[in-house]
């Protein structure tokens, strides 16, 4: 999945050559605020209390250091290592750490379980990833949910699904998978069915396009017992904004060798640039160009696939990939689940998320389903209101 981040300076002026006066902390706040608007996230939902949330990825333990303030205040359950090495350790900054960052932001009151499904070495970084790491003085911020290619990947996924039952997991996020050619007879269907029957909602990234077809991640995302997630971009294509009124967000990337594009964005901040340029008129919801092609498998729901990455004190880039869209959906389910009194099964959650989405993303002559958390909340309210059901 070739969908790494692109280093650059995040700007909100139309003059790309002007020096940015926006600090990374402001950008992170603006992106989080925009995402809340984009997925229609109500502000009165609970934040994961009494939920057990598992991440099956490269993560085994919390990273250490001053770069991660607040992480030590989170509730951590068990860590399990299902990777080939069984080393019970990880790189300081890993793919799973970034997925955890998205989930812990949405569900700070949940208890997190780490299932180390793969090692960082197994991600097989490309030479471009290594050049990016050397150029920025840090690790790659690639967001690809790589195919698990070594040492019995089906068995590892099956072990993770069984562990969810043992640990009474409410939500499992999988930003990884295996390329299977016959999904109707997938060997993961039976363990997935057992896991969902035990009460675990499984949310998985569908994977991203690649020059190599074998790198597409499709399973377990395409199982009927999984809620599959693709990406949608919240773009603002207007070109005639005065610089002083431009509140859009983008990352200038002209100095990067990782992309032919000169910038990431511009993305709508939902702050309203001018009265002549209202967000509801100019904002465009676009199919993420890193999604797998629709004929390979259809995602149940789309969510933002961009995650801000701190490159240094002055620069931010966006890591890209459906890896980062999946935990937004998992986090949305967690917000809803911790806010309702009715206990819903995973299959009911899948149906609610799908049926409440906005069919507003046009691609390949079809409308696609964008996550709408408020719509899901209203669907739940109607279920519990006898008058609504008459």
Could you read off the pLDDT of 292-338 as tens digits, one per residue? 876 567 899 999 998 876 655 556 677 788 999 999 999 999 999 99
3-class DSSP state of 188: coil
Judge whether 390 lies within some domain. Answer: no
Instruction: Read off the pLDDT of each residue in 227-242 and give the average, rounded to a whole number.
Output: 85
Q: Is the pLDDT of residue 17 over 90?
A: no
Please indicate, yes or no, if residue 293 is contained in any of the structural domains. Answer: yes
Domain that residue 197 falls in:
9-384
Peptide bond preceding 220 in cis form (omega within 30 of 0): yes
Please state the rounded mean pLDDT for residues 24-32.
67
Q: Is the pLDDT of residue 24 over 60?
A: no
Q: Of 360, 346, 354, 347, nearest to 375 (Cα)?
A: 354
**Helix, strand or coil, per DSSP, at residue 249:** strand
What average pLDDT does this structure show over 261-284? 75
pLDDT of residue 140: 41
Whether residue 245 has pLDDT greater than 80? no
Beta strands (DSSP E) in the chain are 9-11, 52-57, 75-81, 111-116, 171-174, 201-205, 227-235, 249-252, 263-267, 284-287, 301-303, 306-310, 316-320, 358-363, 366-370
Ranked by mean pLDDT, the top range of 24-28, 130-134, 210-214, 240-244 is: 240-244
4 within domain boundaries: no
Is 108 a domain residue? yes
Across the chain, what does the average pLDDT equal? 77
Residue 319 maps to a domain: yes
Q: How confident is the model at residue 49 (pLDDT cuts 50, 70, 90)?
A: very high
pLDDT band at 275 (very low <50, low <70, confident <90, very high): confident
Specify the higher pLDDT residue, 271 or 127: 271
> Who contacts 90 (Cβ-Cβ below 8 Å, separation ≥6)?
58, 59, 60, 61, 96, 97, 116, 119, 120
pLDDT for 284 equals: 82
Measured CA to CA, the distance from residue 267 to residue 182 in angstroms comes to 38
For residue 258, name the pLDDT band (cuts at 50, 70, 90).
very low
Nearest to 96 by CA among 336, 311, 326, 334: 326
**pLDDT score recorded for residue 101:** 87
Instruction: Name the residue with higher pLDDT: 140 or 93.
Output: 93
What is the structure's pLDDT at 190?
93
Confidence check: pLDDT of 54 > 90: yes
Model pLDDT, residue 19:
27
Compute the distance between CA of residue 278 and CA of residue 301 in angstroms, rounded to an integer: 26
- pLDDT of amino acid 295: 59
Instruction: Output the CA torsion sign for 116, 124, 311, 232.
Output: negative
Domain total of the chain: 1
The pLDDT, as a whole number, for residue 44 is 94
pTM for the structure as a whole: 0.83
What does the alpha-carbon distance between residue 253 and residue 260 come to, in Å, rounded to a whole number? 9
Any domain includes 389: no
Q: Is residue 2 part of a domain?
A: no
Q: What is the pLDDT of residue 141?
A: 41
Which CATH number do you get for residue 156? 3.40.50.200
Answer whether residue 157 is part of any domain: yes
- pLDDT tens-place string over residues 142-199: 454 544 544 577 888 999 999 999 999 999 999 988 877 655 678 899 999 999 999 9
Q: What is the largest CA-CA distance in the chain?
A: 63
């Amino acid at each position: 999945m070739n969908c790494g981040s692109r280093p650059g300076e995040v700007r909100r002026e139309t003059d790309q050559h002007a020096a940015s006066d926006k600090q990374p902390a402001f950008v992170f706040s603006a992106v989080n605020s925009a995402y809340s608007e984009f997925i229609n996230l109500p502000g009165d939902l609970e934040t994961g209390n009494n939920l057990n949330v598992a991440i099956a990825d490269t993560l085994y333990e919390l990273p250490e250091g001053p770069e991660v303030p607040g992480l030590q205040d989170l509730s951590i359950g068990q860590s399990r290592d299902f990777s080939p090495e069984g080393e019970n350790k990880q790189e300081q900054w890993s793919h799973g750490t970034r997925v955890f960052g998205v989930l812990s932001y949405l569900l700070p009151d949940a208890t997190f379980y780490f299932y180390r499904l793969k090692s960082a070495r197994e991600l097989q970084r490309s030479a471009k990833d290594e050049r990016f790491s050397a150029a920025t003085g840090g690790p790659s911020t690639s967001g690809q949910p790589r195919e698990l290619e070594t040492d019995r990947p089906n068995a590892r996924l099956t072990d993770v699904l069984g562990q969810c039952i043992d640990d009474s997991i409410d939500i499992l996020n999988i930003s990884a998978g295996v390329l299977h050619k016959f999904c109707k007879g997938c060997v993961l269907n039976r363990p997935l069915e057992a896991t969902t029957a035990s009460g675990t909602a499984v949310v998985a990234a569908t994977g991203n396009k690649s020059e190599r077809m074998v790198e597409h991640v499709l399973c377990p995302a395409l199982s009927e017992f999984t809620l599959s997630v693709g990406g949608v971009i919240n773009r603002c294509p207007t070109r005639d904004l005065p610089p002083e009124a431009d509140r859009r967000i983008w990352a200038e990337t002209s100095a990067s060798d990782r992309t032919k594009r000169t910038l990431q964005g511009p993305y709508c901040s939902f702050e309203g640039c001018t009265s002549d340029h209202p967000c509801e008129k100019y904002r465009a919801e676009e199919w993420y160009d890193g999604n797998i092609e629709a004929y390979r498998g259809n995602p149940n729901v789309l969510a933002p696939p961009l995650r801000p990455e701190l490159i240094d004190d002055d620069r931010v880039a966006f890591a890209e990939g459906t890896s980062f869209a999946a935990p937004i959906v998992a986090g949305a389910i967690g917000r809803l689940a911790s806010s309702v009194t009715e206990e819903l099964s995973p299959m009911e959650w899948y149906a609610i998320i799908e049926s409440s989405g906005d069919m507003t993303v046009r691609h390949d002559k079809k409308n696609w389903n964008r996550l709408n958390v408020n719509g899901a909340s209203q669907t739940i309210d109607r279920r519990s209101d006898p008058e609504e059901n008459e």
